[in-house]
């Protein structure tokens, strides 16, 4: 297991992680949290080299993808950078990338009855505001972006949250985090600023359910 104490605060600068080979040739990844070697709860940054592909496979408890660079593809179509994809539990696909891509992937973390298929495009073109990408009960996935420097207003539950800084920078009174940093349950104490051009994917409200499910299975 890797970083599976979900209630624990965690900050990872993915820029400093080494790429690790995956079961598919020409696909590499930087694991952030992982329940088992090749199954279960997983969050990773994944890089597809040109021509890379996986065999068709199913995700029992869903799959969530944010395309960071290039064009990600599967049997349903092409998804350029700035696309958010949510494939529900039990869905199957054959992922690939003709020219290569970089994606954030979250696997097997949905509630079994969270069955909505979601595809949202052109997120990188948004300039100011918050955009709700998906909501299921208390769980929310939000895209936050600002074209000018402003205060970071953290109205989500910081005890049950995670975010990926996709571009720009968050600056606090004594520390700062740049694009590529992944923060889980981080306490934004004091005055924090979103620098101009900052874009973030924020998730909140899922850890309580995942922890409860883990306790029930023990």
Q: How far is CA 200 from CA 43, 44, 190, 214, in A?
A: 16, 16, 19, 28
Each residue's pLDDT tens digit, 65-116: 999 999 999 988 999 999 999 999 999 989 999 999 999 999 999 999 999 9
Each residue's pLDDT tens digit, 27-46: 999 999 998 776 789 999 99
Q: For residue 215, is pLDDT > 80?
A: no
Average pLDDT over residues 199-218: 82
pLDDT band of residue 11 (cuts 50, 70, 90) is very high
Rounded to whole angstroms, how far apart are CA atoms 132 and 57?
Answer: 28
Contact 73, 98 (CB under 8 A): yes
Contact 167, 185 (CB under 8 A): no
Please tell me the pTM assigned to this model: 0.95
Q: What residues does 206 pair with on adjacent strands?
A: none
pLDDT for the residue 214: 65
pLDDT for the residue 217: 57
Contact 66, 201 (CB under 8 A): yes
Rounded to whole angstroms, how far apart are CA atoms 84 and 209?
Answer: 22
pLDDT for the residue 15: 98
Tell which residue, 188, 186, 181, has the closest CA to residue 167: 181
């Amino acid at each position: 297991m890797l970083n599976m104490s979900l209630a624990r605060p965690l900050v990872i600068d993915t820029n400093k992680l080494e790429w690790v080979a995956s079961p598919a040739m020409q696909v590499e990844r930087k694991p952030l949290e992982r329940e088992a070697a090749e199954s279960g709860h997983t969050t990773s940054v994944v890089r597809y080299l040109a021509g890379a592909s996986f065999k068709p496979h199913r995700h029992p408890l869903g799959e969530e993808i944010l395309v960071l660079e290039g064009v990600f593809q599967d049997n349903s179509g092409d998804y350029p950078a700035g696309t958010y994809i949510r494939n529900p539990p039990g869905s199957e696909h054959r992922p690939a990338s003709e020219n290569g891509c970089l994606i954030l992937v979250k696997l097997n973390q949905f509630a079994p009855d969270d069955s909505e298929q979601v595809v949202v495009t052109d997120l990188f073109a948004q300039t100011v505001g918050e955009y709700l990408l998906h909501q299921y009960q208390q769980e929310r996935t939000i895209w936050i972006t600002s074209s000018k420097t402003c205060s970071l207003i953290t109205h989500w539950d910081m005890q049950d949250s995670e975010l990926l800084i996709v571009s720009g920078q968050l600056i606090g009174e004594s520390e700062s985090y740049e694009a590529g940093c992944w923060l889980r349950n981080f306490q934004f104490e004091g005055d924090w600023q979103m620098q101009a051009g900052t874009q973030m994917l924020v998730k909140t409200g899922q850890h309580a359910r995942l922890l409860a499910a883990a306790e029930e299975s023990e």
